[in-house]
A and B are shown apart, each in its own frame.
Chain A
Amino acid sequence: EPEVTQTPSHQVTQMGQEVILRCVPISNHLYFYWYRQILGQKVEFLVSFYNNEISEKSEIFDDQFSVERPDGSNFTLKIRSTKLEDSAMYFCASRTEQGSQKLFFGSGTQLSVL
């Protein structure tokens, strides 16, 4: 079965540093998402992306965050200047046709900000 691939699986960074989390969605999918989950808390929506632009973003997704689909296969989440509270598991997801919320999630990147 096709799957969403995320790299790296773990990322450790210093506060204030920039990080880029990478995702390769399933190849024929059209809609892309980032979610995050702080340890012990809910899975939270960050941003959705369609047709090369952001469709919706949450309050969490402030100016420090950006997303990009640079080459038609990768989908990246950049955090410009990381904070301690950005430590979380970040999940990428994608889906295909309109009219369905059947999302395929990657296995996540565990980001630790020290």
Chain B
Amino acid sequence: DAKTTQPPSMDCAEGRAANLPCNHSTISGNEYVYWYRQIHSQGPQYIIHGLKNNETNEMASLIITEDRKSSTLILPHATLRDTAVYYCIASISNFGNEKLTFGTGTRLTIIP
């Protein structure tokens, strides 16, 4: 799996959009970008994933650059409950049983 690089921590004001960057400059053509988050030692929670197109779901949006070397997770209206560690993971998504490898992530703090 390609290595990903994320800032160790970020703050965001409640109600504003939280934009979490991730660099994955060595990502290969068949690797997807996955985002998970972990709220205070709970189990990680899937947020969103994508290959090259931008993706949106009820939780967040994922913007992937055209060269696929970086991406941004956007939480459009951050709430206090979004305070968590956010993990960006590059992983092959094909027929098989590939494991996810978690890094250290970005600790996002939402400030009232």
Residue of A nearest to B98 (CB): A101
How big is chain B's contact interface, by range? 20 to 34
**A108 with B42: CB separation less than 8 A:** yes
State A2–B100 Cα separation when bound (angstroms).
21
**A48 with B102: CB separation less than 8 A:** no
Chain A residues whose CB sits within 8 angstroms of the CB of B38 once the complex forms: 43
**B42 with A98: CB separation less than 8 A:** no
Q: Could you mark each residue 90-114 of chain A with 1 if its beta carbon is under 8 Å from any beta carbon of chain B, else 0?
A: 0101000011111111111000000
State A33–B98 Cα separation when bound (angstroms).
11
State A106–B41 Cα separation when bound (angstroms).
11
A101 touching B91 in the complex, CB below 8 Å, given contacts A48-B99, A108-B42 = yes
A99 touching B94 in the complex, CB below 8 Å, given contacts A33-B99, A43-B38, A107-B42 = yes
Q: List 7 A-B contacts (CB under 8 A).
A: A33-B99, A37-B41, A45-B99, A48-B97, A50-B97, A101-B91, A105-B44
